[in-house]
Amino acid sequence: MSALKDELIALIAQNGPLTIAQFMNVALNDPRHGYYATRPALGAEGDFITAPETSQMFGELVGLWCAQSWLDIGAPNPVNLIELGPGRGVMMKDALRAAKALDAYRDALAVTLVEASAPLIQEQARALAGHQIAWAPTLEAVREGPSLIIANEFLDCMPIRQFVRTQKGWREKVVGVRDGALAFGLVTDPLPHDEIIPAALKSAPEGAIAEIAPALPSFIQTLAARLHAQPSRALFFDYGAAETTSGDSFQALRRHASADPLDAPGEADLTAHVDFAEVKRLGEACGLSVAGPISQGAWLKALGIETRAAALRKAQPDKAEMITRQLARLTAPDQMGGLFQAICLSSPGLPAPIGFA
Ligand code: SAH
């Protein structure tokens, strides 16, 4: 039994059930026993493998996209290159290697990693040894100035709340205690009004589940403040559909297998799908230009991943099969290529970002 599970059971016994967002927040961010404080484990040996961990091609193409975006925003020197939730630092490492193609860009870069996990900060420092890197706890804390912001599987860490459509209206799904164990339940009283339910789901049938990320609006506002202050651009990749859909996407991953999210809080990664339609709507409501969402596969192909894969296969014939497998994993519609989307939020008035045509 995890230490955090005991604490959560005691907390709920005292204060009543937690929203799923509150539960996620404790399980991920508890300073002593939370997942980020103790054991975020990426990569082949860890709990999950991400796109940059799958192949160097991903980070390299993101790096080229950043170099082109730097030209698009007027080639400022210095320019912030900010990565949100950089994991083991692999994407930044590959992106910086690709930046070598453009000297003036590389010389202008001021790199900041926004990371919540102390053990991961250490891994990032190791992976990026030899580069000048700064760290910040939040996007707000990064120094001002024109910024290129990149993030893979960062938005899916945002805590979500869930609401279930019942005969009597929308009721929140919460985490309580039953027979001494953590268990899901529904709040007895339905919501007095359905303002919090996404417009696309308001008339969903009985049994439908609506998910919302309560911190998303303020995050997009923070981003928008930076993008309005100086010509800047942000690129996000994540799990999720291009449209707002109903359904339960709250999941725990432990050693590449999905686990019961309530089973071992603090020991598994907890995520939910990103509502890309909502990211777009919020971005536009803040006056930003939004490109996408489009599928990750389409974006990578537009950036030339097939040409890059062919070059790598030619350079390393013994790895050709592996490179072909990696390419499929990143781009195939039934794999990351279709399950993940890319979206770009820009200061208004910039040239269209590459990859989204
Ligand atoms: N981008 C990496 C890692 C994805 S996992 C990759 O693709 O391989 C999610 C990352 O976001 C981890 O580094 C995690 O510690 C970080 N993270 C999650 N929530 C965060 C927050 N609120 N602030 C900063 N970093 C966060």
Q: What is the pLDDT of residues 22-51, one digit of tens each?
A: 999 999 999 899 998 886 666 556 666 899
Q: Identify the three-state secondary structure at position 71.
A: helix
Q: Residue 1 has what pLDDT?
A: 57
Long-range contacts of 75-78 (CB under 8 A, 24+ apart): 75/104, 75/105, 75/108, 76/108, 76/145, 76/146, 76/230, 76/231, 77/104, 77/107, 77/108, 78/108, 78/109, 78/110, 78/145
From 121, 154, 239, the mutation candidate for ligand 1 (largest count of ligand atoms within 8 A of CB) is 154
Cβ neighbours around 129 below 10 Å, total: 10
**Which protein residues touch ligand 1 with a CB less than 6 Å away?**
36, 40, 42, 50, 52-53, 85-87, 91, 114-117, 120, 152-154, 157
Mean pLDDT within 110-126: 95
Rg (CA), the chain: 21
CA 314 / ligand 1 centre spacing (Å): 34
* Mean of pLDDT values over 300-314: 97
Instruction: Please say if the pLDDT value at position 183 is more than 60.
Output: yes
Residue to probe by mutation, ligand 1, list 57, 117, 254, most atoms within 8 Å of CB = 117
Query: Which residue among 39, 135, 157, 158 is best mutated to probe the pocket of ligand 1, counting the most ligand atoms within 8 A of its Cβ?
Result: 157
Atom of ligand 1 nearest to the CA of 36: 15
Angle at 294 between CA 293 and CA 295, to 5 degrees: 130
CA 91 to chain centre: 13
Confidence of residue 189 (pLDDT cuts 50, 70, 90): very high
Task: Count how many Cα atoms sit within 13 Å of the Cα of residue 197 in the half-sphere of its side chain.
Answer: 23
Residue 177 parent element (H or E): strand 169-178
Sign of CA dihedral 113, 37, 119, 213: negative
> Considering the chain, what percentage of its residues have pLDDT values greater than 70?
96
DSSP assignments along 122-167, one per residue:
HHHHHHTTTS-EEEESSSTTSPSSSEEEEEES-GGGS--EEEEEET
Computed over every residue of the chain, the mean pLDDT equals 94
Nearest one of 155, 130, 151 to 142, comparing CA atoms: 151
**Eight-state DSSP code of residue 265:** T
The model's pTM is: 0.96
Contact (CB, 8 A) for 64 and 148: no
